[in-house]
Every structure is written in structure tokens, then in C-alpha cells.
Amino acid sequence: MSVPFTLRSGGPGSWALRLAAGAVLVYLMFWIPTQASNGVIDTCITALTLMAAAMALNLLLGYTGQISIGHSAFFGIGAYTTGILVSKYGWSPFQTLAVAFVVAFVVGALVSLPALRIKGVYLALVTLSLGLVFPQLIKAPKMEWLTGGARGLDKTGFKFTKKNPTYEIFGWNPWGNLRGENVKPFLYWIAMIIVIIVYVVCRGVVKSRAGRSLIAIRDNETAAAVMGVNLAVTKGLAFGLSAALCSLPGCLSAIRTGNVTPDSTNLTVLGAITFLIVMVVGGAGSLWGPIIGSALYVFVTDRTGDWSDKEAIPAVLRPFFGWSHTPPGSGIFAVVLIALMFVAPFGIVGMWHRVIGRFVKVVPRPAGTGTIDAPATAPAEA
């Protein structure tokens, strides 16, 4: 099959493309908090939260092949660590991120213990029960002194007072007004930094020797073991790291809303399933998959948020969604998911690669030492 364009990975063409894409992203990154309305910024924070959680899950499911339907629990560990430390012990929210990271890592590594023995559906059930148990544990009467029970905790975010300073860069203020008047851009930047941290960690892991071990486990566990991959340690680290990263957007949720309740969506199994779905729709086992899936999910649910009111639905779509009494966002997304399983089993990122492959031939850069020129002809088959 001949394709019109050739692109050499690592060559000037590919760098130009990367730079262009990077420039667009950076432009957007600054445009949103400075120019967009508060409503848009808020939606973006929701998307960033979901991105971080889905990326964390992707490290485990997409790369290591270990399913988890309980990642909402790790999200919840983040939310409650921040919530408890800020509201009860007066910590600064930023300091709590490190504690949440460690706590979630330990819990995640412990959850990996059953994963050493069980696989597939059984592992799904074990992690599902973790997701189910978490809100119950929070609401348990014996825990109420710490977690606030079903009512949850409040005052878990930053205290914005009239005295807060404003930080300006040459008269330009991308952080918003921290005197309690407009804090959305500030929260946006916290979310953005968390997403960048999670992305950088995932990328670092995936592109390293450790990343090859993870994929090896996913592809063929026994073969990985006879290559010298220590299954117990590697799975434990993957679970721990995935859980720890997933706790960070949890912390963010506590900081953002200033309160934590055990029944908010991302802390329940529904949240865990959302992480799973957006990851699969975007493309499991790819770095950008969860990011794209999350953005799309939040876009769809945001656009359809008021569709329970018939009048709000665009006229062409009214016959399809007019019957719905609740916003049909998740329903639409479910249909997208099912359709994708047929046309693009590797998600949007996989589909993108396939479409691009029709037009552009990507020549990977030669690796190892030396170059391979004119490979010797293979011997004729007898």
C-alpha cells in the first residue's frame, strides 16, 4: 500500500509537527484561564480532574492489563486525606497532596496482592468491591469523628480572604483574583499542574525499562516471568503508582469545592466506571487516550446538561432525546462506546493512527547502535 507522505520520526518534519501541536496546547492552556468565562473554566477543571484519574487508571489497565473497577476509592482517599488534614488539622492543601500520594500508594500496593493470584473477571470483582466498600467505610458510625460520616467535611479548600496577595506577571494575572473574588483560574492551574504531573510520570514510566515490563505482563504474563520480570513487585508498583496518581485529582476535588461528601460521583463506583469508559473510548494503552476521552466526555455531558428540558435540545435532535427526563450525556457516551468497540477497538487514538496511516507513512527512527542498511536477503524457503 503506497501512501502520499512520508514522515521520519525524530526528523525535522516530525519535530515541526510536535512544535505546532505543543504551541496550540500551550496557547489553549493560557487562553482558557485568562479569556474564557468562569463557566468554561469550571468545565475545564472537571475535564482535567477526569483526565488525571483516567490517566492513572490507564497505567494499570491500559499498560499492565490489570483491571480495576475500584479506582474511585483511590480518588476518595485523595479527597478525604486533603479534607481531613485541611479541615481538622489546619494543613495547607498543597501539603496534603504528598500525604495522599503515599497513603494511596500503600493501599494500592496492598490491593495488588490478590492480583498476584487472580485475573480477569475475578480481579474486576475484587476491585469492584473495593469501590463499593469505600463510601460505606467513610459513612461507618465508628469513622464519623474523622470523616464526618454521610454529611462529609467542609472547609477543605483554600481560605481566600481579602488579605490574599495577587501575583501579577508584568501586569498580567493568569491566576485570577485570590482575594476571594474570582478563584477559578487559580483552581484551574492547580488542576493543570496535577494533570501535567500525572502525564509526566506516566510517560516516564511507559517509555522506560519498567514500561516494557508492564506491557510484557499485559501481553504474556508467563513469558514476562521467564524474561526476568518480577511479577509480584512489578504489579505491586503498578497498582501503587496508579492508585497514588489517582488520589491527586481526588485531592483537587476537595480543594476545588471546599467540601467532601462520600456520595459525590467520583467517589462511588459510578466514578470508577466513568474513569474506565473515558479511558477506553479515548484509547487504552496510549498516553493521550485518556486525555482525549475525558475531554470528549466532559464536552458531551456539558453540552447536553440541560437536555432534560425539551426546549433546550436542538430541533434536529429532539426526536432522539425528547423522551429523556434526565440529561442524556452518559447515555450518549455509552452508545459512542459500543459503536467504537466495532469501528475502533483501540479507541479514538487507535482510530486516529489508522486514518493517519492512510496518508502518512511514519518511518521510525533506527534504534540501537549503528544503522541498518541493506538487510541481507533471507534464505529461500525450502
Partner 1 sequence: MSLLRAHGLTAGYGPVTVLNGIDLEVNEGEIVVILGANGAGKTTTMRAVSGTIPRSGAVEFDGHDISRTSPDAIVRHGVAQVPQGRGTFPELSVEDNLRAGAITRRDGAGAVAADLQRWFEQFPRLAERRSQRAGSLSGGEQQMLAIARALMSRPKLLLCDEPSLGLAPLITKELFEVIERLNREEGLSVLLVEQNANLAMHMASRVYLLETGRIVASGSAAELSADDTIRKAYLGF
Q: Does 376 bind partner 1 (CB under 8 A)?
A: yes
In the block, which residue shows the cell 484551574?
Answer: 188
How far is residue 134's CA from residue 140's CA, in Å, rounded to a whole number? 10
Q: How far is the CB of 235 from partner 1 (least distance, A)?
A: 12
Which residues fall within 8 angstroms of residue 91, CB to CB, at 6 or more apart?
A: 85
Binds partner 1 (CB under 8 A): choice among 121, 169, 338, 382: 382
161 vs 369 by CB, closer to partner 1: 369
59 vs 77 by CB, closer to partner 1: 59
Q: Does 274 bind partner 1 (CB under 8 A)?
A: no
- Residue 304, phi then psi, degrees to nearest 5: -100, 10
311 vs 381 by CB, closer to partner 1: 381
Please, are residues 207 and 18 in contact by the beta-carbon 8 Å criterion? no
Reduced to 3 states (helix: H, G, I; strand: E, B; else coil), residue 363 is strand
Interface stretch with partner 1, choices 19-27, 50-58, 139-147, 372-380 (CB under 8 A): 372-380
Q: Does 1 bind partner 1 (CB under 8 A)?
A: no
297 vs 346 by CB, closer to partner 1: 346
Please, are residues 302 and 103 in contact by the beta-carbon 8 Å criterion? no
Q: How far is the CB of 220 from partner 1 (least distance, A)?
A: 5
Q: Does 369 bind partner 1 (CB under 8 A)?
A: yes
Please, are residues 253 and 75 in contact by the beta-carbon 8 Å criterion? yes
209 vs 325 by CB, closer to partner 1: 209
Q: Does 285 bind partner 1 (CB under 8 A)?
A: yes
Residues between 200 and 239 that touch partner 1 (CB under 8 A): 209, 212-213, 215-216, 218-220, 222-232
How far is residue 246's CA from residue 275's CA, in Å, rounded to a whole number? 10
180 vs 366 by CB, closer to partner 1: 366
User: Which of the 8 DSSP states describes residue 177?
Assistant: B
- Strand 153-154 vs strand 259-260: parallel, antiparallel, or unpaired? antiparallel
Lookup: cell for 179: 482575594
Lookup: cell for 346: 483501540
Please, are residues 115 and 290 in contact by the beta-carbon 8 Å criterion? no
Residues between 168 and 207 that touch partner 1 (CB under 8 A): none
Q: How far is the CB of 119 from partner 1 (least distance, A)?
A: 15
171 vs 379 by CB, closer to partner 1: 379
Lookup: cell for 173: 494575572
In the block, which residue shows the cell 499485559?
Answer: 218
Q: How far is the CB of 363 from partner 1 (least distance, A)?
A: 9
Residues near partner 1 (CB under 8 A) are 209, 212-213, 215-216, 218-220, 222-232, 285, 364, 366-370, 372, 375-382
